[in-house]
Structures are given as structure tokens and as C-alpha cells.
Amino acid sequence: MIDLIIHMSIYILMPPLLFGIINKTKAYLAGRKGAPLLQPYYDLIRLFKKKMVISGTTTWVFYAGPIVTFISVMVAGLLMPLGQSQAVISFTGDFILFAYLFGLARFFTTIAAMDTGSAFEGMGAAREMTFSAITEPGLFFAFLVFVKLSGSMSLTVMLQRNLYGIINQNGFAPIVMVIIGLAIILLAENSRMPVDDPNTHLELTMIHEVMVLDHSGPLLGLIQYAANVKFFILSSFLCTIILPTFTSDGGLSWVGFLIGIILIAVGVGIVESIMARLRMSRVTVLLFSAFLLCGSALIIFVR
């Protein structure tokens, strides 16, 4: 019970912090002082207090989009184990539901964007959909690797089995390939550098930010919070795989998980500081490489 309470409070409270950490890291590497660590929380509170401004072209779809996205992402997170703590809901085949809930979120984000009738938002929506068609099979290949290694079809068991013991006979290469592939998918799914630049000020070059240009106030707050949670979920996915089980003690493993996930946020911050955004046509190549890495890893494990 206590574990569940810790689990849920970390799940609900921590996501915005990761964005604070990323921004702080970027500021530090650029030699700036940067916004306070808790800035994302202040932003969210401010957004929820604001009044909305809505385009006259839109219908109820525009309103429902962020809500469906928010709920789908929050619910998807319940299926994901956090470190050594098992997922809140867990059943056979839950990873399929996990992937498809992200699909539902994407569907509604994009139709809400298209509802405004803006060319920019159309571009963002089209790009989001195009890239997801490559990341989705990549993600499934990664899932298959873990299904094969753990012999289970439920995320908690798939990710938490101590993989280092199982993979010894195959060497570390394939698991490293999966981890690199997943890291690329993490960056792409969350619209981070080098796929998308969250800080750009030119609508023409954006993906995620441009889709939500017309949302404001509480709806924008929901979108931002959902984006934070999505980043948190995928980071904890990566963290759970990489982090070995070094202890059976509940408290210590939570500390390990938190350190791990903060390190991932710092890593993303470093990547964003030292890399430029890729040209749109090159993004496809990067995503295909993630797809191929995960796919080849599966073949190596099964051979």
C-alpha cells in the first residue's frame, strides 16, 4: 500500500520536474543561470488559472483533443512499472494497449490541430503522423525483444526481469542496440532534439509545438502536463531496463530509480545542448535506424 502511494505520488508529481531539469542542464551548459527548477509547475498553475482564447473555426473536436490525449497518456502510464515498483494495472498483452493508447493520444492531438484549419498546424500533424509510422514498429520490435527475454507478455515482468543475467550468453551487443533504439524513440515521441526543437520560434520547423499553437489556458495546461507525463513514462521505461536490481529494499530501489530518471533527463539536456535539429528529410533516416537497431537485436536474440 505504501509502495502504491509512493508510486502514484511520484507518477503524478514528478513529470514536470524532469523538464525543469532538462532546461537547467541546457542553461548550465550554455553558461546561463536558467529558470528555476520548479518553473514548469508555476507555468502549469498559471495556465490552469487563465481564460481560454479559441479560434472561431473550431468545433468540439478542438476541445476534446487535449482531454482525450491527457487521459490516454495518464492511463498508459498506469501500465508502466517504475523501477522495481510494479505497474498499477498489469495483464497479459498490456504493452499492446500501452502502444495503442499513445496512438489514441496522437490521433486526437492531430485532429484537434487540424480542426483549426491552419496550415502550420496541418504541417505539424502530418509530420507527427509520418514519423510515428516508423517509431511504432520500432517500439514493437523492442517490446518483442523483452517478450523473448522474459517469456512474459506483461510490461512489469518484461521490463523488470533482471536482463543482465539472461543476456549473458548472447553478449551485451543486442541489448545495447535496443537501448540506443529506444533512446531515439524516446526523443522522437517526445518531440525533443534532434527530431524536433521545443524552443524554436519558427512555426514552419516545429512538430509538437506547432500542433498546439491555438490551444490556450487550461487546455494548453493539459497538453503540457500530458507531454511531461509522456516523457516521464518513456524515461522510466528506459530506466527500468538499464537499471539493474541491486537491492531488494523498497526504499533504496526508489532512490535508484529517481537517480536513474534524473540522469536520463540530464542526458536529454546534454543532447539538446550539443546537437542541432536535423533536417526533416533526415529525421526519417534517424528513425529508420532506431527501427533497424531494435529489429536486428530481435533477430540476434532469436537466432
Residue 89 vs 275, nearer CB to another protein? 89
CB of 198 to another protein, least distance (A): 18
The 8-class DSSP code of residue 266 comes to: H
| Host H or E run for residue 263 | helix 250-274
Using CB under 8 A, which residues numbered 243 to 302 contact another protein? 281, 284, 295, 298-299, 302
The answer to whether 260 and 239 are in contact (CB under 8 A) is: yes
Do residues 234 and 190 touch, judged by C-beta distance below 8 A?
yes
What 3-state class would DSSP assign to 59?
Answer: coil
Whole-number Å distance between alpha carbons of 168 and 240: 18
Question: Is residue 225 within the footprint of another protein (CB under 8 A)?
Answer: no
Cβ atoms of 98 and 147 within 8 Å: the answer is no
Instruction: Find the binding residues for another protein in span 72-131 (CB under 8 A).
Output: 72, 75, 89, 91-93, 96-97, 99-101, 103-104, 106-107, 110-111, 114-123, 125-127, 129-130
CA distance 192 to 200: 11
Residues 192-211 contacting another protein, CB under 8 A: 203
Based on CB atoms, which residue is closest to another protein, 22 or 68?
Answer: 68
Q: Does residue number 213 form part of the binding site for another protein (CB under 8 A)?
A: yes
Q: Which residue stretch of 18-26, 173-181, 212-220, 263-271 sits at the interface with another protein (rule: CB under 8 A)?
A: 212-220
CB half-sphere exposure, 35, CA atoms < 13 A: 12
* Cα–Cα distance for residue pair 222/235, rounded to 1 Å: 20
Instruction: Tell me, by CB under 8 A, how many residues bind another protein.
Output: 75
23 near another protein (CB under 8 A): no
What does the alpha-carbon distance between residue 93 and residue 202 come to, in Å, rounded to a whole number?
A: 41
Interaction of residue 67 with another protein, rule CB under 8 A: yes
Least separation, in Å, of the C-beta of 149 and another protein?
10
- When binding is defined by CB under 8 A, the residue of 29, 35, 37, 61 that contacts another protein is 61
Q: Does 136 bind another protein (CB under 8 A)?
A: yes
C-alpha cell at 217: 489556458
Q: Counting contacts by CB under 8 A, is residue 148 touching another protein? A: yes
- The answer to whether residue 165 forms part of the interface with another protein (CB under 8 A) is no
70 binds another protein per the rule CB under 8 A: yes
Distance in angstroms (rounded) separating the CA atoms of residues 226 and 70: 5
Select from 144, 159, 207, 297 the one that contacts another protein (CB under 8 A): 144
For residues 213 and 133, the answer to whether their CB atoms sit within 8 Å is no
Residue 116 CB, nearest distance to another protein (Å)? 5
Q: Residue 224 interacts with another protein (CB under 8 A)?
A: no
Nearest to 143 by CA among 158, 129, 165: 158
Looking at the Cβ atoms of 13 and 129, the one nearer to another protein is 129
Rg of the chain taking only CA atoms, in angstroms: 19
Q: What is the DSSP-derived secondary structure letter of residue 50?
A: S
**Shortest distance in whole angstroms from residue 148 CB to another protein:** 5
Instruction: Indicate whether 39 belongs to the interface with another protein (CB under 8 A).
Output: no
* Residue 187: closest CA among 265, 257, 261, 292: 265
Cell matching residue 105: 493520444
Taking the complex as a whole, how short is the minimal distance between the CB of residue 101 and another protein, in angstroms?
7
* Minimal distance, residue 102 CB to another protein, in Å: 10
